[in-house]
Amino acid sequence: MRIIEPFAVTSAMMLESNVPETDHPAWASATTYAAGQRVIFAHGIWESVKGGNTDHNPGADTTSTWWVRVGATNRWRAFDDRLGGLTTGGATITYSIALPRTLNAICFFGLNAESVRIKITVPGPTVIHDQTITLASRDAVGNFWEYVYNSFTFKPDLVITDLLMPSGARIDLTISAGSNAQVGEIMIGNDIRIGTTLTDTSLGIVDYSKKDRDEWGGIFLVPRPVTKTVSFRFAIPTEGAARVQKIMERVVSKICVFYAVEGEDPFGTTVAGIMRDYDLTLGAGRSFGTIQAESLA
């Protein structure tokens, strides 16, 4: 059982990207906006609530009197803590990020790509890591004929740990596809070992769709996002309980990556989301805990 605690990517850390930030015009204080017009401000897309909108700063409008934020720009959707919005590009999507502190893990979610390249350069400049990961995979099969006739697919999620990314390093990320490269979320952070994952870890989903029946029993569905839930069961030496407690207190209000096994995850336990519940029962020598995590929408 492990948790990757992400470090927020800020404007100061973003050195370069080939994804243009031209979704809409930049907000200008002297421009009068009509209802429904959209602008870019602080890497977000804002929509004017009503007409005659002049010199109202979107970032200062905390009551949405003049502006409502509808999401991040295409460039910054990869860092907006949501899986529903995708950063889209052409054959490649590239980001160059400067690290203000030492980190050791990178995660990608919602990929539509053939490969991902991670290049790490330290001042000098010296390249200390350059790795290209091919995302092609084949679903598990039951016999030879399924192997022959099942087509290849591309993994949508990728978790890379045990990286050396020292403070001051430059991280160059390249997401490559034949065309229309996409990524839902990129998280850079530290990988923290919690304990040993147990076999009674369980999977589930939460469906936020609206389901009603009329007086004749007919069903009306309003589709809404479905999130994945994982109830991780783990064990730790009891002397490590205080350490785990402090980690849980730190990540309880953060979006993190929760996962059960290193490398390929054949069970689908990897979750980028929030911790809904946590419990640790102390025992003599060995203690047992549960972490309930729910994915982002």
13-41 pLDDT, tens digit per residue, is 999 999 999 999 999 999 999 999 999 99
pLDDT of res. 153: 67
Whether 66 shows a pLDDT value over 80: the answer reads yes
| Of residues 82, 3, 79, the one with CA closest to residue 246 | 3
Q: Full-prediction pTM beyond 0.85?
A: yes
**Per-residue confidence (pLDDT) for residue 232, from 0 to 100:** 96
CA-CA distance, 272 to 256, in Å (whole number)?
6
Beta strands at 67-72 and 44-48: parallel, antiparallel or unpaired: antiparallel
| Secondary structure (3-state) at 124 | coil
- Per-residue pLDDT reduced to its tens digit, 246-276: 999 999 999 999 999 877 778 889 999 999 9
Q: Beta strand 32-33 with 126-134: parallel, antiparallel or unpaired?
A: unpaired
Q: How far apart are the first and last CA of the chain?
A: 22
Q: What is the pLDDT of residues 68-112, one digit of tens each?
A: 999 999 999 999 988 878 999 999 999 999 999 999 999 999 999
Q: Are 114 and 178 in contact (CB under 8 A)?
A: yes
How many Cα atoms within 13 Å fall on the side-chain side of residue 96?
A: 7
Question: CB count, 10 Å around CB of 185?
Answer: 26
Helix (H, G, I), strand (E, B) or coil at 249: helix
The mean pLDDT value of the chain amounts to 92
- Tell which residue, 254, 244, 280, has the closest CA to residue 2: 244
Mean pLDDT score, 126-136: 93
* Mean pLDDT computed over 187-196: 96
What are the sequence ranges of the domains in the chain? 2-20+77-192, 196-295
Q: Residue 19: exposed, middle, or buried by beta-carbon count in 10 A (0-12, 13-18, 19+)?
A: buried
Fold classification of 2-20+77-192 is: Jelly Rolls (2.60.120)
CA 238 to chain CA mean position, Å: 32
Asked if 94 and 162 touch (Cβ cutoff 8 Å), the reply is no
Neighbours of 24 (CB within 10 A): 15
Distance of alpha carbon 217 from alpha carbon 189, whole angstroms? 50
